[in-house]
Amino acid sequence: MILIGKVTFAMMLLAGLMGCASMNKSECLNADWHMIGMEDGSQGQPVSHIGKHRKACADYKIKPDLAAYEAGHVAGMGQFCTESNGFRLGKKGGFYSGVCPQELEEAFLIGYDAGKQVHVAAMEASRAANAAKSNQAQLDKLKKDIKAKEALLVSSKTSEMTRVHLLEEIKADGKKVEELEAKVLSLESDKEEKQAEYDEIKKMYQY
């Protein structure tokens, strides 16, 4: 049983390692290196990404066609390094690793920087909305707790000593309610402001 377990684990480990390879045997044997380079380039992969393919195909004694790959990669970069694509990457909070060639990078970065502005504005609007929602929930719970304490206060089953404690708690909770109401009001205002800023920035950049 122990031997079977070890063999099974070894097979799982080998399968995991094989899963990490960028290409399998069939892909290596039938590789169109120009197309592979184009696909990698269009996804923003650096030209050094061919190293992963080289390592994967070395197991099958197949060497990549570097010239074809590089030519395809240049074409792929032309698809990736556009202003609109830069905007999409920045908007979703993606990381740009500086892969675009100099002649294409300026336009790409214009879009990327604009996208980042939209992304940041969206994140700030989301944080403001969550903060307002969280504090409103605290306020609602506190008011509910006060009502429960008030019900106990007037109950005939409540002792005098307990009523004294309840009155003190209700008084303290009342102050907390005032503080939370002021905070929620401020957070709601901040939420509306951040949402307006986000809406305005979205209108500024249309890709």
CA distance 108 to 133: 37
Q: What is the mean pLDDT of residues 175-201?
A: 97
- pLDDT at position 21: 67
Please state the pTM of the whole predicted model.
Answer: 0.74
51-81: burial string, b at 16+ Cβ within 10 Å, e else: eebbebbeeeebebbeebbeebbeebbbebb
The answer, yes or no, to whether residue 4 has pLDDT greater than 80, is no
- pLDDT at position 206: 76
Q: Radius of gyration over alpha carbons of the chain, in Å?
A: 31
CA distance 195 to 7: 57
Q: What is the mean pLDDT of the chain?
A: 90
Residue for token pair 């206060």: 153
- The pLDDT tens digits for 70-117 are 999 999 999 999 999 999 999 999 999 999 999 999 999 999 999 999
CA distance 181 to 135: 9
Q: Are 37 and 71 in contact (CB under 8 A)?
A: yes
Ramachandran sector of residue 98 (left: φ over 0; alpha: ψ -120 to 50; beta: rest): left
> For residue 48, what is the DSSP state?
G
pLDDT band at 12 (very low <50, low <70, confident <90, very high): very low
CA distance 160 to 166: 10
